[in-house]
C-alpha cells in the first residue's frame, strides 16, 4: 500500500506546507499578543509568585492568575486551580456547579468523552453522579455519516429536546471518536446560535479540551457561556504540572467555585502550592506550544498521506484541535509507531509500550509518551486501540524540531516493514 519515502523528502514536504505554516504562525502571533496583554493589563509582578499557605485568603497570585486566564480566554471570569486533578474533574465540577436537581442536561454533540460517563451516570452506579443527584441527561447527534456537522432538516423532536433543556453541552474536540470531526470555531458558532435560537436561556457549556489557542477566538467569544479544560493539555504550555480551568460568565464561575470548594468559600481560598508562577509561565508559552504541535500534525498528515495512509484531518484542512488520526492498517505498524515515538522521547526512552486491556475499552490499547508531565498530551504522545484499521491518535509536540526528528525516524522504521 505504501511506497518507500526517503527521509530527505521531509524538507520538500515542508516547503509545500508554507501556506499552512504561515497561517499557524499568524494565529500564534495574534493569540500571543492577547495573552501577553492579559499579563500587562493585570500588572503581573513578582509578588504574585509568593504562595500564601493555610486558608490562603487574599492570595494575590491566585487572583491574578484567574484574571489573566479570563483575559486570555476572552471570558468575564475564570477559575484556574491545581486542585482540579484532571480535565474530567474540571468538567464534572462545572456540571455540578451549573446543574440543579430536576434539570435536564442536553448534549448537542452526541455521547461525550468516555471518562465523563460515570459523572453523567450513563455508566456505573456512583451515588455522586449527576443522575443520582436528579439531573436528567439527554443527547442529540448532529453529525452526518461522514462525521460532519449537519443542521439542516433536523426533526422537530430534536428541536423540542433543545427547547426543554436547562443546560446545553458541547464537546469541541473529536476526542477519540473514530469518525466525528472536531468543530472549528465557525462551526461552533453555527451550532451555538442554532441552539440558542430554540432556547436562548439555557447556558451553553463547552468542553474545550485540546482546542485552546488553535484558532484566534475561544468559544466564550462566540456565544458559549462556560468553557472547561485541562492544564496538562494546551493552556498549560507544557509547563503546568497539573490543574484545570473553567472560564466564562462571572455568575456561573461563582457557582463552579462553590462546587469545587464549598458554598461561601468559592474562589476565595485554596493554597496554590507555589504553582502560580509555573502556571502563568506555561500560559504565556501556550500559544507557541500549540503552534508547534499544529505544525507537527500538519507535517505528519502530509508525510503519511504522501505514503498512502488515510489521515484525518488532511494536511490542508482547517483544524479545531491538536489531534491527528492516521490509519496505519496493521497491528505491527501501530506497535512500531508507538515504539519509535517512545524510544525517541526525552523521558523513559528505554521503555517499550505494549498494548493493554483498559477498563471501559473493548480492545487492548497501546500508548506512547515519554513526557516530562505524566500523561501530558500537549507533549508529543500517541495512542490507539488494537483493532481495524489500526488507527493511531497522535497529539501534541511543544517543540516542532523534536516532532520532525521523530517523524523522520518513524518513517524509516515503518518503511522497513514494507520491504
Site residues (vs ligand PLP, CB under 6 A): 86-88, 113, 115, 171, 173, 175, 207, 209-210, 230
Which residue, 88 or 278, has its beta carbon nearer to ligand PLP? 88
Contact 295, 380 (CB under 8 A): no
Minimal CB distance residue for ligand PLP:
87
Which residue, 171 or 292, has its beta carbon nearer to ligand PLP? 171
Which residue, 232 or 272, has its beta carbon nearer to ligand PLP? 232
- In angstroms, what CA-CA distances link 140 with 65, 108, 159, 195, 225? 36, 5, 10, 11, 19
Write down the least CB distance from residue 62 to ligand PLP, Å: 21
Write down the least CB distance from residue 90 to ligand PLP, Å: 8
Write down the least CB distance from residue 150 to ligand PLP, Å: 20
Which residue, 67 or 172, has its beta carbon nearer to ligand PLP? 172
- Helix residue ranges, H only, 176-315: 185-198, 250-260, 276-306
Contact 68, 39 (CB under 8 A): yes
DSSP for 171-213 reads E-S-TT-SSPPPPPHHHHHHHHHHHHHH-SSS-EEEE-TTTTT
The C-alpha atoms of residue 251 and residue 69 are separated, in whole angstroms, by 17
419's grid cell: 520491504
Strands (E), 250-386: 310-312, 323-327, 365-368, 381-385
Which residue, 103 or 173, has its beta carbon nearer to ligand PLP? 173
Write down the least CB distance from residue 87 to ligand PLP, Å: 3
Write down the least CB distance from residue 124 to ligand PLP, Å: 16
Which residue, 115 or 122, has its beta carbon nearer to ligand PLP? 115
Q: Containing H/E element for 105? A: strand 104-107
205: nearest Cα among 255, 132, 279, 264: 255
Which residue, 113 or 400, has its beta carbon nearer to ligand PLP? 113
- Reduce the DSSP state of residue 414 to 3 states and report it: helix
Write down the least CB distance from residue 275 to ligand PLP, Å: 17
The C-alpha atoms of residue 327 and residue 251 are separated, in whole angstroms, by 44
The residue to which cell 449527576 is assigned: 130
Which residue, 210 or 400, has its beta carbon nearer to ligand PLP? 210
Which residue, 210 or 309, has its beta carbon nearer to ligand PLP? 210
Write down the least CB distance from residue 209 to ligand PLP, Å: 3
Write down the least CB distance from residue 375 to ligand PLP, Å: 7
59's grid cell: 492570595
- Reduce the DSSP state of residue 101 to 3 states and report it: coil
Write down the least CB distance from residue 115 to ligand PLP, Å: 5
- Helix residue ranges, H only, 307-379: 331-343
Amino acid at each position: 500500500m505504501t511506497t518507500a519515502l526517503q527521509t530527505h523528502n521531509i524538507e520538500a514536504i515542508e516547503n509545500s506546507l508554507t501556506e499552512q505554516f504561515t497561517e499557524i504562525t499568524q494565529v500564534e502571533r495574534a493569540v500571543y499578543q492577547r495573552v501577553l496583554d492579559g499579563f500587562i493589563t493585570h500588572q503581573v509582578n513578582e509578588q504574585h509568585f509568593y504562595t500564601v499557605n493555610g486558608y490562603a485568603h487574599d492570595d494575590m497570585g491566585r487572583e491574578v492568575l484567574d484574571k489573566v486566564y479570563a483575559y486570555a480566554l476572552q471570558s468575564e471570569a475564570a477559575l484556574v486551580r491545581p486542585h482540579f486533578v484532571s480535565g474530567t474533574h474540571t468538567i464534572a465540577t462545572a456540571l455540578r456547579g451549573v446543574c440543579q436537581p430536576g434539570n435536564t442536561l442536553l448534549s448537542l454533540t452526541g455521547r461525550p468523552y468516555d471518562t465523563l460517563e460515570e459523572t453523567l451516570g450513563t455508566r456505573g452506579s456512583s451515588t455522586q453522579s449527576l443522575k443520582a443527584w436528579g439531573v436528567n441527561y439527554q443527547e442529540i447527534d448532529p453529525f452526518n455519516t461522514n462525521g460532519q456537522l449537519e443542521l439542516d432538516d433536523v426533526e422537530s423532536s430534536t428541536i423540542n429536546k433543545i427547547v426543554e433543556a436547562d443546560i446545553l453541552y458541547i464537546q469541541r474536540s473529536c476526542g477519540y471518536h473514530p469518525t466525528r470531526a472536531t468543530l472549528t470555531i465557525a462551526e461552533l458558532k453555527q451550532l451555538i446560535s442554532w441552539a440558542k435560537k430554540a432556547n436562548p436561556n439555557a447556558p451553553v457549556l463547552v468542553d474545550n479540551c485540546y482546542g485552546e489557542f488553535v484558532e484566534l477566538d475561544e468559544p466564550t467569544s462566540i456565544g458559549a457561556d462556560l468553557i472547561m479544560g485541562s492544564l496538562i493539555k494546551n493552556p498549560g504550555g507544557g509547563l503546568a504540572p497539573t490543574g484545570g480551568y473553567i472560564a466564562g460568565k462571572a455568575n456561573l464561575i461563582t457557582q463552579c467555585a462553590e462546587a469545587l470548594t464549598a458554598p461561601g468559600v468559592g474562589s476565595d481560598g485554596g493554597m496554590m502550592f507555589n504553582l502560580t508562577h509555573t502556571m502563568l509561565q506555561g500560559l504565556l508559552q501556550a500559544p507557541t506550544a500549540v503552534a508547534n504541535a499544529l505544525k507537527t500534525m500538519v507535517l505528519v498528515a502530509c508525510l503519511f498521506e504522501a505514503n498512502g495512509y488515510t489521515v484525518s484531518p488532511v494536511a490542508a484542512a482547517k483544524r479545531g484541535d491538536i489531534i491527528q488520526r492516521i490509519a496505519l492498517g496493521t497491528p505491527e505498524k501501530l506497535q512500531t509507531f508507538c515504539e519509535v515515538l517512545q524510544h525517541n522521547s526525552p523521558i523513559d526512552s528505554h521503555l517499550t509500550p505494549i498494548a493493554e486491556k483498559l477498563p471501559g475499552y473493548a480492545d487492548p490499547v497501546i500508548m506512547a509518551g515519554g513526557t516530562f508531565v505524566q500523561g501530558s498530551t500537549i507533549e508529543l504522545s500517541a495512542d490507539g486501540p488494537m483493532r481495524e484499521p489500526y488507527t493511531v491518535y497522535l497529539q501534541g509536540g511543544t517543540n516542532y524540531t523534536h516532532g520532525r526528528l521523530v517523524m523522520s525516524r518513524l518513517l524509516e522504521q515503518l518503511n522497513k516493514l514494507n520491504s
